[in-house]
Structure 1
């Protein structure tokens, strides 16, 4: 039966909906409109050039594989980009661009294309396998350069760099990276793999989720091919297993992984594991595996602090060639403090809505668009409230902040208060200075710069400022 345009696109959406996160689906796939089906070519209309570029960078592989699953292996994709929405006199102006940049996938490579250009249907049973044919399954955007370092991840990131420089020849084997959802475990693990491939292309690297590992094991068990399965994994030089906590429901898969782990470790190969918990807190995982997880280093990732969240946003904007008012960046970093994934998701949603509505990004748009992401403040923090917090924290009398004195503890308390007032209130530099005995705006500028410099050189000072930042944030919620 001939497939209609809407049938094809709705079938694609049903598949995509099960793969991408709900918010990303709403932002990037619901606005797409199927406009034409030419034999095996599906034409989809997108609302802007930015929208098209984002799909090409992040979702073109998914769109290509999904379309081939629905239309067949010869399916192709084209974009119709809305250049001008038109009006009652003029028709909308559009341009058509073919999709490009994705790999050619055959039917039996769709689920897990470990081996490139190999005619064997089963990617694990490969007589005379050449190591260089193994696809590492790494996302090239996950690098150390794009992974912002802060107090929340410094140990894990630096351990990862050490592993990448000397895989298998360091004391961090295995390297276990653990932390909550959206804190960058997968990014860091894949950054290690990408760095290994960059430095030594001959190293065989493989990234695989624990769920994929388990599913492959089950398939090979049914075909009595467990030895082939284990043998394949023993070929790897750097094995990255994501979300090992899911091994808790797969006893026999744990047995296979135990054999693989032992062989790789004894052969001087590198293992990198990620988990949502520390090894000691993993339930349902064999004790003999847990003991081996503890052989190396377990490094945790924590929620990034306010300064790091700002740097994450600024780094992403710079990489994507985007600009946004500083007050909007601060608003996002201030309100979204749960994890990096939500932070980046909020930024993407804001940019998408700006593109769709053809409107400049400002604080008003950010508050309106991101109400599903952020918990808006029930009250605005005041300079007086910040002064009181700092005085209580350092046990300094309020009137001391206003006096002209060179006592170090008073001067620093005043400088920190000015710094926080500039960061967390909308007051001008002049207004802030007036709250400190009538000082002028240049004093405020000098104080803010002094605080930034001391945070870079004095760990104790930085910790005090960061703790006060958290107190101010909580007070505003």
Structure 2
């Protein structure tokens, strides 16, 4: 029987498969293909330089044993790396780098992308100086479906989450976008999906990450000229969970790279779960091509919990903490705190703490004091539209005038104040604030904020404007 590259590699794989974890085999060896066998040298093709470096770093011994078993002590291994440039140019771009010798096993001619010359390991989660083969999921096991109580306000999102966890990548809920206001359980549900998948499918690579951290990793990758390695790392994930995806707003480079990662995962049947504080239709400064992909699957909203759900949440919290509380007090708290789960649980924790520290019995009177303080100290989120209305009314002008192109000093100052307060009281990006206040760019908003700061410290009348409007917005 003739010996071919494929037959040699198949025998090597059989040996490797018996000696490493199934998940590691699937991640690092299944994507490799045998190319040719010449002069006792087996050429294998790997997806990227990241792959080649990971194999050399972590699997060189088992590769050496398996190959020498097949081809003898003079066996050589040649890596061929041809990672397609997915950003327009379909032709692979390569250069030669010197060979490295590892005893009888040698890595010779390695084709690598021209823009990837750094020898560092590319897992963005690897802490420098610590060897970490396994990709940690970053999941919090305390967030589970068991302690995510179902109600009318979250039934669709929770049911979709359970369906995704049962069959990741195999439902029409891909991506699953969970959206809703602050403190309604988006992060909890996202973790619960990941935790459940890890329990059911331990071989799957699940990764939870915030959009903010994803952005920072991408910036670091660009600085180190490791963009392709960054992309490849995310392309090997089976279930990618990105929290607060609205954070990508206005970040065109990060959106572009996420677009390509998303496409690869989706096309290969991998699951994507996203959370956002707003529905796709309300997301500003997110590219249309990305928004269209968010709508491919299911967008499920988490709403403010109704009274019955709020009571159930409080009882569950008390049960988990081993605390007993009279029914009428639980109902009082549930009736008076309606905004979100986080505030609800925060109030009950404050009530328990006050009772313990001051050695007071938990009564309706104590509950009333705590709830009043809690509600009073909870700032409601102010919208940009509301800020424009307050500023316009204060200066006795209409909103159209505030947003106009006129350069009249008092109108310019009113517009700058609106931008200043929008930055202070909302979570919107500078670009989003500018687009909503007269279709200005982010640089104009930044300039407006600096101008307001400067005038507040040098102009007594202007400082009064700031103080008056602050009071109106803080009521």
TM-score by length of 1: 0.52
Q: Is the 8 A contact 2:183 2:342 kept in 1?
A: yes
CA distance in structure 2 between the partners assigned to 1:236 and 1:280 by the alignment: 28
SS at structure 2 position matched to 1:374:
helix
1:53-104 superposed Cα distances (whole Å, 9 cap, x missing partner): xxxxxxxxxxxxxxxxxxxxxxxxxxxxxxxxxxxxxxxxxxxxxxxxxxxx
1:114 aligns with 2:125: yes
2:203 paired with 1:202: yes
- For residue 319 of structure 2, what is the aligned residue in structure 1? 318
CA-CA distance at 1:190 after TM superposition: 0.7
Could you tell me how far apart the structure 1 residues matched to 2:243 and 2:330 are? 31
Partner residue in 2 for 1:303: 304
Q: How does 1:228-243 map to 2 (within 5 A)?
A: 228-243=229-244
SS of residue in 2 equivalent to 1:249: coil
Per the TM alignment, residue 117 of structure 1 is displaced from its structure 2 partner at its CA by 10
Map 1:39-438 onto structure 2 (within 5 A).
Answer: 114-115=125-126, 119-120=130-131, 130=133, 133-374=134-375
Distance in 2, matches of 1:314 and 1:116, equals 41
Shift of 1:167: 0.3
Deviations 1:30-49 (A, max 9, x none): xxxxxxxxxxxxxxxxxxxx
Uncovered stretches (5+) of structure 2, i.e. residues with no partner: 1-122, 378-475
- Aligned to 1:220, the other structure's residue is in SS state helix
**Equivalent-residue separation in structure 2 for 1:231 and 1:342 (angstroms):** 40
Displacement of 1:357: 1.4
Q: What SS does the corresponding residue of 1:172 show, helix, strand or coil?
A: coil
Whole-Å Cα distance in 2 between the matches of residues 114 and 143 of structure 1? 24
Separation in structure 2 between the aligned mates of residue 368 and residue 324 of structure 1, nearest angstrom: 16
Q: Are the equivalent residues in 1 in contact too, given 2:165–2:197 (CA < 8 A)? A: yes
Instruction: Give secondary structure in 2 for the equivalent of 1:256.
Output: helix
Q: Distance in 1 between matches of 2:125 and 2:294?
A: 26
Within 2, Cα distance between the matches of 1:282 and 1:224? 30
For the Cα contact (< 8 Å) 1:336–1:343, is it kept in 2?
Answer: yes
| Structure 1 Cα separation of the partners of residues 288 and 308 of structure 2 | 39
Q: Contact 1:149 / 1:308 at 8 angstroms: preserved in 2?
A: yes
What CA distance in whole angstroms lies between the structure 2 residues aligned with 1:334 and 1:202? 45
Larger radius of gyration: 2
Q: CA deviation at 1:119?
A: 2.5
Contact 1:241/1:272 (8 A) holds in 2: yes
Q: Matched residues in 2 for 1:113 and 1:230: separation?
A: 10
Q: Give how far 1:371 is off.
A: 2.3
Per the alignment, in what secondary structure is the counterpart of residue 240 of structure 1? strand
Distance 1:353 1:135 in 2: 39
CA distance in 2, matches of 1:172, 1:143: 19
CA positional deviation for 1:118: 7.3
Contact 1:349–1:370, Cα closer than 8 Å, also in 2: no
CA distance in 2, matches of 1:113, 1:247: 18
Structure 2: how far apart are the matches of 1:118 and 1:194?
28
Residues 197 and 294 (structure 1), Cα distance of their counterparts in 2 relative to 1, 3 Å cut: same
Find the aligned partners of 2:337 and 2:376 in 1 and give their Cα distance. Answer: 8
Q: In the superposition, relative to structure 1, how do residues 193 and 117 fare at CA in structure 2: closer, same or farther (>3 Å)?
A: farther
Task: Kindly indicate whether the alpha-carbon contact (under 8 Å) linking 1:150 and 1:308 is maintained by their aligned counterparts in 2.
Answer: yes
Distance 2:366 2:263 in 1: 55
Instruction: State whether residues 113 and 135 of structure 1, in contact with CA within 8 Å, keep that contact through their aligned partners in structure 2.
Output: no
Q: In the alignment, is the contact (CA less than 8 A) between 1:179 and 1:302 conserved in 2?
A: yes
